[in-house]
Amino acid sequence: MSEESPRTRSVEVRLHLAGGHEQTLSLEEDAEALRELFTALATPESADRLVQLPVKGGDAAYSFRPSNLIAVATEPPVVVELEEVSPRPGSSVAVRRPRWLVIDDFLGPHEHQALLDYALQAEERFEGGTVLGETSTYRTNKVIMAFGESAHAALFSNRLLVWYPLIARALGSPIVALQMVESQLTATNDGHYYRTHRDSAAGDDTEPRTLTCVYYLHREPKGFGGGDLRLYDSVSEGGIERPGSDFHAVEPVSNRLAVFSSHEWHEVAPVRCPSREFADSRFAVSSWIRQGQPDAEVTLGWGHFHCGVVAPQFRDGGVS
């Protein structure tokens, strides 16, 4: 009596791509398409080809370039041994470390407490976070999208504009004409996260974002753990950029502001909140300073925010 050959398992595969996009499909554990998928993840520099995977039982296909693939999640876990891939002739790999700035005690004590009180009293206004306007498991948290219309956001935006020239100089960024500051208020609770992404992408509404500013607040004693901001190395090969494996973690300390280029790869590590109470959440004001078009006619007011004319003390000074 011959032995039956072991049955291959069906694997649920979730693809996470740049821009917060996701796709879920089912493949057999020994499927060549699964091996091709992991090969694409290991060689994102192969931007001159497309990966095409079957969906809807083979009645359709999902196509993408390897350079857009960020992560692959499989259930159950799958280990695939890949052949070592040699770099393409003439290709070179460049690694750029992220640059960031941390400012503690960014707001005055009364301003900080007023903003925290606002967040704690606004639980019913928080809604599920979205990516590009769509709900996605790429991001799980609660958000007040209209926070920018509040007096608290106006105070916060004005403070960022005052700091902007010094922040840009400290980060080694050119001081540019600005358009506006957009803001959201987020609440991150038990199990919430935001996977690796960038806040600015060419060709959509996020392209003018130049600086990302994340301000942390929470009540004391702290009721959560985790939730670090992780800023990843940027790896460039053949003109294609992707996040590296190394990162710098910024701890979410109340009344701390973290600032970095909106082009940096970053994520929010999962939060642990044993009580699961809303009031124990990790709160954050996420703001983006958006670049505008220079206006040579502007001579009054915040001139350097509109026309690029910078006061001498901002050109010659810096943040230590």
Whether residues 105 and 17 share a domain: the answer is: no
Q: List the one residue out of 141, 192, 136, 143 whose CA is nearest residue 21.
A: 136
Whether residues 174 and 263 share a domain: the answer is: yes
Phi, psi of 175 (to 5 degrees): -85, 120
Whether residues 59 and 103 share a domain: the answer is: no
Report the percentage of the chain scoring pLDDT > 70: 77
What would the two tokens of residue 120 be? 């704690």
Whether residues 76 and 99 share a domain: the answer is: no
Exposed, middle or buried by CB within 10 Å (0-12, 13-18, 19+), for 8?
A: exposed
Number of domains the chain is built from: 2
* 221 pLDDT higher than 90: yes
Whether residues 67 and 100 share a domain: the answer is: no
Residue 213: its pLDDT value, please?
97
Whether residues 155 and 99 share a domain: the answer is: yes
What would the two tokens of residue 23 be? 């796709």
Q: Helix (H, G, I), strand (E, B), or coil: what is residue 203?
A: coil
Q: How confident is the model at residue 64 (pLDDT cuts 50, 70, 90)?
A: confident
Residue 27: its pLDDT value, please?
81
Q: List the one residue out of 163, 122, 162 whose CA is nearest residue 146.
A: 122
Instruction: Tell me the per-residue pLDDT of 7-40, one tens digit each, with 9 for 90 and over.
Output: 567 888 888 776 566 778 888 877 777 777 777 7
* 120 pLDDT higher than 90: yes
Q: How confident is the model at residue 269 (pLDDT cuts 50, 70, 90)?
A: very high
Whether residues 76 and 112 share a domain: the answer is: no
36: in domain? yes
What would the two tokens of residue 195 be? 């996977």
Phi, psi of 243 (to 5 degrees): -70, 140
Task: Flag whether the pTM goes above 0.85.
Answer: no
User: Can you give the residue range of the structural domain that contains 167?
Assistant: 95-316
Whether residues 206 and 110 share a domain: the answer is: yes
Contact between 170 and 163 (Cβ < 8 Å): no
Mean pLDDT of 150-161: 92
* 106 pLDDT higher than 60: yes
Residue type present at position 286: S
HEC per residue, 89-110: CCCCEEEECCCEEEEECCCCHH
Report the percentage of the chain scoring pLDDT > 90: 42
How big is the chain, counted in residues? 320
Point out which residues pair with 84 in neighbouring strands: none
Q: List the one residue out of 262, 91, 234, 95 whose CA is nearest residue 167.
A: 262
Residue 292: its pLDDT value, please?
82
Instruction: Tell me the per-residue pLDDT of 282-315, one tens digit each, with 9 for 90 and over.
Output: 999 999 999 887 666 655 444 445 545 555 555 4
Q: Mean pLDDT across the chain, nearest whole number?
A: 81
Q: List the one residue out of 87, 41, 30 whose CA is nearest residue 64.
A: 41
Mean pLDDT of 263-281: 95
2: in domain? no
